[in-house]
């Protein structure tokens, strides 16, 4: 099992779970958030936001991306939690972008489990940054295995109000190159917290989902 730090390295996606299929900007989502064969637990509430000037989330996702946030529209605002992402059928590789609601540097822990609930790998203190550029450079976190044994991935540590982008799974032929070129992600130290981001703001969301093979 190796850590994958870019969408390009993960390969051509064969499945894309677009959170915009749950609704447009400022759509409340009761847990679990589910799109096709993917469900997300880990918080008392989720919200779909759109990145950029036409939306309500301001970070380094690409302009117009629809993301799933640890946010409670009922008044609590940004809330604590993790992204506990589960697959109906185990996959060989998976990845997504993640951003903190706070500006500055943040750290993410990635843990993977098999279909029996056993932890099979963890990559700790993966460093990212929120600069509010809206340019698609949000931290990408993922993993690739030599078997179809990833049934669950948990992303923790990005803080209250954090958000994830579309979840992708690559075409099987691209995995050999990925496994050949990439190495393990080294651990990094985790310092304290940073300053807070701008409050959230609207637009329609288009839908996109292909079944995970």
**164: which residues sit within 8 A by CB, 6+ positions away?**
19, 67, 68, 83, 96, 97, 98, 155
114 Cβ contact partners less than 8 Å away, ≥ 6 residues apart: 90, 120, 149, 150, 151, 152
* pLDDT single digits (tens) 73-104: 998 999 999 999 999 999 999 999 999 998 99
**Cβ count near 98 (within 10 Å):** 26
* pLDDT on residue 169: 86
For the residues 159-169, what does the mean pLDDT come to? 95
Split at pLDDT 50, 70, 90, the class of 212 is very low
Residues 170-201 pLDDT 10s: 866 444 444 434 333 333 333 333 333 333 32
Whether the pLDDT of residue 150 is over 80: the answer is yes
Pick from 148, 144, 136, 130: which is nearest to 174 by CA?
144
Task: For residues 155-183, give the mean pLDDT.
Answer: 72
Residue 196 is predicted with a pLDDT of 34
């Amino acid at each position: 099992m190796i850590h994958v730090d870019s969408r390009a390295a993960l390969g051509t996606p064969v499945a894309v779970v677009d959170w915009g299929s749950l609704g447009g900007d400022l759509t409340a989502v009761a847990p679990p958030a589910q799109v096709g064969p993917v469900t997300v637990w880990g918080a008392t509430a989720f919200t779909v936001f759109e990145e950029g000037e036409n939306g309500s989330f301001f970070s380094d996702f690409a302009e117009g991306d629809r993301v799933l946030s640890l946010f409670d529209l009922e008044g609590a605002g940004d809330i604590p939690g993790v992204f506990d992402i589960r697959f109906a059928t185990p996959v060989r590789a998976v990845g997504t972008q993640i951003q903190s609601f706070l500006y500055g540097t943040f750290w993410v822990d990635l843990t993977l489990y098999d279909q029996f609930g056993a932890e099979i790998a963890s990559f700790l203190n993966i460093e990212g940054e929120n600069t509010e550029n809206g340019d698609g450079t949000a931290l990408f976190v993922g993993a690739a295995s030599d078997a179809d044994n990833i049934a669950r991935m948990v992303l923790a540590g990005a803080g209250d109000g954090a958000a994830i982008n579309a979840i992708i799974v690559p075409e099987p032929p691209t995995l050999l190159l990925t496994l050949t070129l990439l190495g393990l992600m080294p651990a990094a130290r985790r310092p304290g917290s940073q300053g807070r981001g701008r409050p959230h703001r609207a637009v329609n969301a288009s839908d996109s989902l292909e079944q995970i093979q």
